[in-house]
Amino acid sequence: MESAQSTRVLIVASRTASTPRLIEEVGRRARANPCEFALLIPDVTNRQAADWTLDTAQRSLRPAARGKIAGLVGGPDPFESVKEAVGDGSFDEIIISTLSKKTSKWLRRDLIRRVETLGLPVTAIHPPSFKEDLRALESPWAGRGVPIA
């Protein structure tokens, strides 16, 4: 009997490495197909902070990934960090988790489009907008006999 080949997924994240949307996406992929995940913290100027982020994120992502998450720490340029990780690893796809459009330096530097030029499928994970957050909230009046408009 032949075993299923694992899909190797490079996760690129920093401040968003433990967010619910990223954890959900990792879990969805792990449930759909066997996967091996590696988390890259690029844009590193402080190695101690990067190590803390990596350790915390690995613990958050591990249950969703259904196993170990390899950890990688890049240098000061996020694109060059991703490019080096892709060159060193045999990844099949990339997930990039960013901050919102208002605050993300990666989006201002067009990181997602640049990473797409490396030839692997790229999935971008963005935080929900304020309106999306509001739609997800339940009405505080639901089930309390108050008519809902």
Please give the mean pLDDT across all residues of the chain. 85
21: in domain? yes
1: in domain? no
141: in domain? no
CATH of the domain at 31: 3.40.50.620
pLDDT, tens digit (0-9, with 9 covering 90-100), for 2-40 = 446 899 999 999 989 999 999 999 999 999 999 999 999
Q: Which residues contact 49 (CB under 8 A, 6 or more apart)?
A: none
User: DSSP for 47-78?
Assistant: HHHHHHHHHHHHHHHHHHHTS-EEEEE--S-H
147: in domain? no
Number of domains in the chain: 1
148: in domain? no
CA–CA separation, 98 vs 108, rounded Å? 11
142: in domain? no
145: in domain? no
pLDDT, tens digit (0-9, with 9 covering 90-100), for 75-99 = 889 999 999 999 988 999 999 999 9
117: in domain? yes
Structural domain boundaries, residue 47: 7-136
